[in-house]
Amino acid sequence: MATDTLASPATLSHTPTKVLKNFIDGEWVDSSTGETFEDRNPADTRDVVGIFQKSAKADVDAAVDAAKRAFAKWRLVPAPRRAEVVFRTAEILIERKEDYAREMTREMGKVLAETRGDVQEAIDAAYYNAGEGRRLFGPTVPSEMPNKFAMAVRQPIGVCGMITPWNFPMAISSWKLLPAIVCGNTCVIKPAQDTPLSTFNLVRALTDAGLPKGVINIVAGFGPEVGTPLAEHADVRAISLTGSSAVGRIIGGIAAKTFKHCSLELGGKNPMIVLDDANLDLAIEGGLWGGFGTTGQRCTATSRIIVQKGVYREFIERYVARAEKLKVGNGLDETVEMGPAINEKQLQTDLT
């Protein structure tokens, strides 16, 4: 479904640069601005992984219109049938897991073991949500009146907008898109500008599994030009953001003014407590994985370790010795344990 390829300037992987247009109503379309942006490999910035559309409000409007039209039909497809598309998506993702993981390491930087885990999470989400298509339970309750029946049923909301982060490029897109479509909604997603390719790969698998046109639409670009008009659009009835608390405050404010469903998954400063009676070997291994896995770029990353005084000095000595030995480098190298920071801006934040 990629519309074109170009020769990459990169020498590292010798993999061609993908050129991806927006995906609206089942068609690949240029942005209204005519501008594009590059998705570069953070481990080798000569490697341009993809070129994407730098979209604007007009593109959001077109995508929401397509999603609104698709909703009229998709909502009437029985939920178990909708779920079968998601089940087939899981099976397709299994076949493509290695290719999609490698592309994700190129665009995001985390090591291959972790990008394989990211695709696996989308597979797990697909199987789980496929099962929900045969449940979607609601309560039936006895009425207070004779000869009266009372129950509650779940109904789809309509067009849902999704704004995703770069740290779990496929997993978090799957957490949002898959339950939304099983429930009968249609979607417009703005993937993170640092890692859009993995969302395109997920939607490619969904489309190959038989998802009808317009049910999921992708508009690439940046927050102010795409995310804000998506959140503001009157026909978008739910907005789901995973990102920073600062952006969450903006999106939450917009959603409140227009009475949208709004789900915000934001920052963390996650503590790991080690008491005197802990298994110290286990705690040290856990603290290394929690602190430095995904280069610390998880919203759940272990960024504080609170250690009881009886084991405090021993913990520090052994933890620091192990941290010093972690191998840092390009995530495509299977011996590397920790990849690079996502981009220059994040690196500067880390260093200051």
Partner 1 sequence: MEPTVFTDVDPKMRIAQEEIFGPVVSIIPCDDMEDAFEIANGIEYGLSSALYTKDVNKAFAAIRDLYAGITYINAPTIGAEVHLPFGGTKATGNGHREGGIGAIDFYTEWKSVYVDYSDKLQKAQIDRAE
Span 112-131, contacts to partner 1 by CB under 8 A: 121, 124-125, 128-129
CB distance 109 to 45 below 8 Å: no
- Euclidean distance between CA atoms 192 and 169, whole angstroms: 8
Q: Does 34 bind partner 1 (CB under 8 A)?
A: no
Annotated catalytic residue 299: yes
**Window 287-306: contact mask with partner 1 (x via CB under 8 A):** x-xxxxxxxxxxxxxxxxxx
Residue with smaller CB distance to partner 1, 34 or 146: 146
Residue with smaller CB distance to partner 1, 151 or 234: 151
From the CB of 173, what's the least distance to partner 1, in Å?
11
- Euclidean distance between CA atoms 301 and 289, whole angstroms: 9
Q: Does 240 bind partner 1 (CB under 8 A)?
A: yes
- Euclidean distance between CA atoms 85 and 209, whole angstroms: 6
Span 260-289, contacts to partner 1 by CB under 8 A: 261-275, 277-279, 282-283, 286-287, 289
Using the contact rule CB under 8 A, the part of the chain among 12-20, 27-35, 141-149, 208-216 near partner 1 is: 141-149
Q: Taking the C-alpha atoms of 33, 168, 38 and 67 in order, what is their torsion angle to the nearest 10 degrees?
A: -20
Annotated catalytic residue within 121, 299, 324, 337 = 299
Annotated catalytic residue 187: no
Q: What does the block give as tokens for 311?
A: 């084991």
CA R_g for the chain? 22
Indicate the SS3 state at residue 31. coil
Annotated catalytic residue within 160, 265, 317, 334 = 265
From the CB of 17, what's the least distance to partner 1, in Å?
26
Q: Running DSSP on this structure, what letter comes out for residue 212?
A: P
From the CB of 231, what's the least distance to partner 1, in Å?
14
Q: Does 329 bind partner 1 (CB under 8 A)?
A: no
CB atoms within 10 A of CB 128: 16
**Window 183-222: contact mask with partner 1 (x via CB under 8 A):** x-x-------------------------------------
What crossing angle do the helices spanning 280-292 and 312-324 adopt, rounded to 10°? Answer: 50
Sheet harboring 4-6: ordered strands across? 4-6, 17-20, 44-53, 36-41
Residue with smaller CB distance to partner 1, 38 or 276: 276
Catalytic residues: 265, 299
